[in-house]
Amino acid sequence: MDVPLWLALLCVGVLGVKLIRPPWWLIAVLLLGGYLIAASLLAPVINSLVK
């Protein structure tokens, strides 16, 4: 069974929010920060560190 990555991340995110109940501002900061870092000049550096 092939599950798209976006669907798996969405399910994990929804379960994490329901079970852990982090504050909404923390979720917004993580999402916005991840988006901004992925679109910045640091993306290739982070990509090489992750691999």
Give the CA distances from residue 32 to residues 1, 5, 28, 29, 35, in Å, rounded to whole numbers and listed in that order: 31, 19, 6, 5, 5
Q: How far is CA 41 from the centre of its chain?
A: 18
Length of the chain: 51
pTM of the model: 0.66
Sorting pLDDT into bands at 50, 70 and 90, what band is 21? very high
Q: Which two tokens stand for residue 18?
A: 């329901």
16 three-class SS: helix
User: CA–CA separation, 20 vs 26, rounded Å?
Assistant: 12
51: pLDDT strictly greater than 90? no
